[in-house]
Structure 1
Amino acid sequence: MVGNPDEPHCVSHLHPETAMDQIIPFDPERMIWGSAPALIYLEIAVRVGVIWIWTIVLLRWVGGRSISQMSVVEFLLVIALGSAVGDPMFQADVPLLYGMLTILLVVLADKAVDHAFRYWTTAKRLVDGRPTEILREGHLSHAGLDKKGIGPTEVMEMLRRAGVRNLGQVEYAYMEPSGTVSTFLYDQPRPGLTIVPPLELRRLPAPDALSGACCTSCGLVRATADGTCAECGATEVTRAERLESREISSA
């Protein structure tokens, strides 16, 4: 088939210039303020606000244990600044002024949130959440565990890190918004579930009439091994053991 001589010749065999070839090094317009209309700066401010709020909502949903030792706002500040600082450094099509404005807005938002936390306690509860009771009177609270989305083995691991050897030592334990666990111990330990060594690494002793039985899932102590646990509904039990004074002093 013969092409129309009036039509332009196909130039597909030519190599078009890439975006990098079109970039003029040290061009102040591209490098500093960009070629977009002035309203782009208002758009950047709106984008920062939307992403900031959306990320806080998702981080609250994920929970404090994923960002342990940091508040939700501190964690968000780190990841937001990481992106805002990094992009203008190596992306030639991102003007420095865009990145500088984004960094400034992120820092100002963080300062505004800190200010709100000092004078408006409701704001802190909305963003960071509240402490949650996960253990009461020697046994785990499954309502608290369900609320935080964690399992008994994870809580027992945290308690071991805090030096707890038996759940009967603990009167109350709370998971803080930062993901750490605060424990308040009895003056005299009660019989309870021994968690050192971990349950997975030892053979659980059978309950007896003298010491009673305790649930291996939540540590609730009951008189007999029959039936299901009133706290969590589990059926597996082991012997309720009281931590001796010498064991506490050596912990």
Structure 2
Amino acid sequence: MSGPEIIPFDWQRIWLGDAPPLFMLEIVFRTSVIFIWLLFLLRLTGKRGLAQLSALELVIVIALGSAAGDPLFYPEVPLLHAMLALALVVGLQRVLSHLVMRSERVETFIEGLPVELVREGVFSAGGLERTNLNREELFERLRSQGVMQLGEVRRAYFEQDGNLTVFSHDREPPPGLPVVPPWDLEKPLVLDPDTPQQGMVACLDCGRVERVSGLLGACACGGEDGWTVAVVDPLAGPRGV
């Protein structure tokens, strides 16, 4: 069943459509609700997919794209309605940007906070879970910054824009859990807990390094992956300090 006949250059339909003027107020409500809802959903999904876009900027891109797309080829979408929605999106962005600069609470709600992932070669408790990163993804980001083992890392922070900031030791670092080569290609050797060990070992769960002389005990983190040899240079072979 076909719809009503479309009359070309029907200025009433092009600019206002068949909706009553009060529908303009509904557009204000709809745009505001969707804008806030998108921002809330993006804050729930975390920052890992934002790359260098902030949550607010990504909402603007999505909202502008949606509002600008439909009136280009849907004859039943009046231009004034789309123009109002676009203006509201930009206006909301300007208001929120101003509030972000003026209020730390608003900035924290919209942009989130940096999350510490590594402290002195050991994973920070809960850091990976809060950022929706897994261990392999963190290792990949560390390798991209030239890190070969966790002992090199004094601090690693997952920033508000989704980037990873790493502070490394200036001089020769202590041994740590190797991240090179990628574990998918070559996983570190898991030490036999029933065989006495000598030297520095690293927990495969949290990266904690301990000196052992005898049988291996459980790590304080409670992990079950066991221990491997702590290394200074994984590419040169394991060597403790």
Which amino acid counterpart does residue 188 of structure 2 have in structure 1?
A: L
Q: Alpha-carbon deviation of 1:206? A: 5.6
Q: Distance in 2 between matches of 1:203 and 1:121?
A: 43
Query: What does 1:48-63 align with in structure 2 at a 5 Å threshold?
Result: 48-63=31-46
Q: Distance in 1 between matches of 2:224 and 2:163?
A: 26
Q: Distance in 2 between matches of 1:171 and 1:46?
A: 48
Decide whether aligned partners of structure 1 residues 88 and 206 sit closer, same or farther in structure 2, where only a CA change above 3 A counts: closer
Local SS of the residue matching 1:209: strand
Partner of 2:186: 202
1:32 aligns with 2:44: no
Q: Decide whether the 8 Å contact of 1:215 with 1:234 is kept in 2.
A: no
Q: Which has the larger radius of gyration?
A: 1
Decide whether aligned partners of structure 1 residues 206 and 149 sit closer, same or farther in structure 2, where only a CA change above 3 A counts: closer
Q: Decide whether the 8 Å contact of 1:69 with 1:180 is kept in 2.
A: yes
- Percent of pairs with identical residues: 39
Query: What does 1:94-173 align with in structure 2 at a 5 Å threshold?
Result: 94-173=77-156
Q: Alpha-carbon deviation of 1:187? A: 2.0
Q: Decide whether the 8 Å contact of 1:128 with 1:177 is kept in 2.
A: yes
Partner of 1:235: 225
1:192 aligns with 2:183: no
Could you tell which deviates more after superposition, 157-166 or 198-207? 198-207
Residue among 209, 213, 238 paired with 1:221: 209
Unaligned runs of 5+ in 2: 192-196, 237-241
Local SS of the residue matching 2:118: strand
Q: Alpha-carbon deviation of 1:200? A: 2.4
1:77 aligns with 2:60: yes
Which amino acid counterpart does residue 209 of structure 1 have in structure 2?
A: Q
Q: Alpha-carbon deviation of 1:48? A: 0.7
Q: Distance in 2 between matches of 1:45 and 1:228?
A: 59
Local SS of the residue matching 2:126: helix
TM normalised by structure 2 equals 0.88
Q: Distance in 1 between matches of 2:88 and 2:19?
A: 19
Unaligned runs of 5+ in 1: 1-15, 247-251
Q: Decide whether the 8 Å contact of 2:60 with 2:90 is kept in 1.
A: yes
Partner of 2:194: none
Decide whether aligned partners of structure 1 residues 192 and 81 sit closer, same or farther in structure 2, where only a CA change above 3 A counts: same
Q: Alpha-carbon deviation of 1:205? A: 3.9
Q: Decide whether the 8 Å contact of 2:118 with 2:157 is kept in 1.
A: yes
Q: Alpha-carbon deviation of 1:67? A: 1.5
Q: Decide whether the 8 Å contact of 1:56 with 1:73 is kept in 2.
A: yes
Q: Distance in 2 between matches of 1:193 and 1:145?
A: 17
Q: How many residues align?
A: 228
TM normalised by structure 1 equals 0.85
- 1:143-164 CA distance string (max 9 Å, x none): 1112222211111111111221
Q: Distance in 1 between matches of 2:34 and 2:187?
A: 50
